[in-house]
Amino acid sequence: MSEPTSQSISLNDIATRYLGALQHLSDFMVLTWAGARAVNEQNYEEIFKTVSGLPSSPARLSFAIAKAEGERWWLKNSLGDVLGLLLVFLEDIRKVCGVVAFNVAKSQASGDLIALAAQINADNGPLDIPTRFKNLKERYAWTIPLEAELMSLVALHRCFTHAGGVVPKGNTLSLRLKTVQPPPEGETQPQLGDYLRSWSAGEKIALSREEHAAVFTTASVFLNAMLHAIQQFAKSSGLPDPPPNP
């Protein structure tokens, strides 16, 4: 087997791909909110009657209950989409770390380049976000930015998935977010702040739209922080600078 050549991944491409995808998820949520603002009981009933094939049973929700529960359903599903996006992003981050390790070893003429190249495209299976964080910390000595916030989003989604969005008996749930806050007195630029909310056992989880929007804020800050962290990781690893353009 021939020796692998240098590997490369564009961080700009990664940023464009994932921040763009997050923007689209946010846009879909805004469209959903706009529709919810426009709907009323009359057109709720009209649409039900005019679209064929919908179930019709005594379990059908009233307009008021459907509107409230719809907000929680949108939260569960949009949160799942955001976390799913971040899960794929973390796989790309793992590959970038592998590329850094490969190129550092090549520049220093050390290490098994074939094994390092194989690790870059290795299939690690369906790992969850906590496991991917653990692997980055153990293999590359990373400090994960916004780890507490991301783990709280994972816990929130699990509560929806496994407990219907009601905090199980004997448990509590805390949500940590990054929020855009009004500018302090005398300033014009909004500030990024920390937000914490907790629920006790038996409480049903629901977020305001501002809190829901902060999920997207938190994901955006996380994406940017991880891209900055990979740059610092490459620098601290001794990755040589690319040659200047001729």
Residue by residue, pLDDT tens for the chain (246 residues) are: 344 555 556 888 999 999 999 999 999 999 999 999 999 999 999 999 999 999 999 999 999 999 999 999 999 999 999 999 999 999 999 989 888 888 888 877 776 677 777 777 777 767 899 999 999 999 888 999 999 999 999 999 999 999 999 999 999 999 999 999 888 888 888 899 999 999 999 999 999 999 999 999 999 999 999 999 999 988 888 876 654 444
DSSP at 204: B
CB 173 within 8 A of CB 166: no
Q: 226: which residues sit within 8 A by CB, 6+ positions away?
A: 89, 90, 93, 144, 145
Ranges of each domain in the chain: 11-49+61-236
Rounded to 5 degrees, what are φ and ψ at 210? -65, -40
Of 127, 160, 132, 162, the residue nearest 222 (C-alpha):
132
